[in-house]
Amino acid sequence: MMRTRPLKVALLGCGVVGSEVARIMTTHADDLTARIGAPVELAGVAVRRPDRVRVGIDPALITTDATALVKRGDIDVVVEVIGGIEPARTLITTAFEHGASVVSANKALLAQDGAALHKAAEDHGEDLYYEAAVAGAIPLIRPLRESLAGDKVNRVLGIVNGTTNFILDKMDSSGAGYQEALDEATALGYAEADPTADVEGFDAAAKAAILAGIAFHTRVRLDDVYREGMTEVTAADFASARQMGCTIKLLAICERAADGESVTARVHPAMIPLSHPLASVREAYNAVFVESEAAGRLMFYGPGAGGAPTASAVLGDLVAVCRNKLNGSNGPGESAYTRLPVSPMGEVVTRYHISLDVADKPGVLAQVATVFAEHGVSIDTVRQSGKDGEASLVVVTHRASDASLTGTVEALRKLDTVRGVASIMRVEGE
């Protein structure tokens, strides 16, 4: 039987995503009612600038007092799309205290305080859903914590930031330099006026923390994630990648150790073979590659940002949470039973591509090879070119730990024949 009393929703934030959430709730009201089993009513919208015209939203719903809105007591679900740590954290916990479940797109807050928020939701018998926090419209969190709940995930490898993927794709396809590609991304609206969170990997690191925690049933905070940005990637790096049959992507990588006793989470640029599915992810799209024991390799692909795509994920969570409200039940909460430690970056094992500027004279290659051998790093291939007394030496290793590679590079810098280390890049996806 269809319930006639509507479920009331409070919307915190009415920017690019929030306005799309409100629009879809209005235009798809009948479909949402049919799918949920009860009408859904937008009961209030908290904003910072109330004078701004918001097409399709009743001005009577607009308020600047978000705290009063979540404390009303008749709100069933709070949708938080304001971002940042505060006041979002306080508003979410206040919503739980006053009988509302929460749908959030706040990756930074969840990566920093996800455990505390899950505990607050559990203590008050409410839901915390956040599909939109990681990959926009791409269904990813729900498959990881529900569809794969009976499986064992060993690795999550993905492109989770559209801005950086657009920039790197332009550098690869057109030969543009970093700044030129960033300028184009900014002009097209893919990059913020201050792109630091994207290009320095902070955005992807927050998403990696969330993914690792869900995939491995352990707590991973933002501080646990190793992070490198992609501002130092050059056209020369792409040329080297092409010679190896690779391209370069900014990757979020979450792995379970071979012995199963620890996990790692990291974000950095990496070369990946053109044969890998992630290599073909173009422009501002996202994709995440999941490797599990029973299901094998799965890939999730689609738009990772934007108002309508992100709102789609928010509305999917809203439907699920409203159904739970009607049934008097709760969806999955935090699963952190494994309590696995997060290993430091020095213990991560992968392949490396190292480009050295060296003197063009006999014996240089032998000296360099000796340094690699002394640090236990096995060389896979070497490519040397040069003239007029200067040369470039490119070394690709077999798998080695980050700590051993760091020691190798420090020793190489001390050689008289090594003029400098032009670039170091990891090779993933093999």
Query: Cis peptide before 87, with omega less than 30 degrees from 0?
Result: yes
Report the alpha-carbon distance of residue 189 to residue 349 in Å, rounded.
Answer: 37
- Phi/psi at 78 (5° precision): -105, 130
> Which residues, other chains included, contact 313 with Cβ-Cβ below 8 Å and sequence gap of 6+?
105, 131, 132, 136, 137, 138, 139
The span from the CA of 167 to the CA of 185, in Å, is: 7
- Annotated catalytic residues are 207
Amino acid at 309: P
DSSP assigned state of 6: P
- Close Cβ partners of 219 (under 8 Å, ≥ 6 residues apart): 114, 115, 213, 336, 339
Length reported for the chain? 430
As given in the structure block, the two tokens for residue 259 are 């012995």
Q: How far apart are CA 16 and CA 412, in angstroms?
A: 50
My answer on whether omega of the bond before 309 falls inside 30° of 0, hence cis, is: no
CA distances from 189 to 60, 244, 283, 311, 394 (A): 31, 33, 13, 18, 37
92 vs 86: CA distance, rounded Å: 10
> Among candidates 79, 86, 102, which has minimal Cα distance to 15?
79
Largest CA distance in the chain: 85
Match 């049919």 to its residue by tokens.
Answer: 34
Q: What is the spatial distance between Cα 19 and Cα 136, in angstroms, rounded to a whole number? A: 15
Q: For the chain, report the end-to-end CA distance as a whole number of angstroms.
A: 53
**Gap between the Cα atoms of 50 and 27, Å rounded:** 23
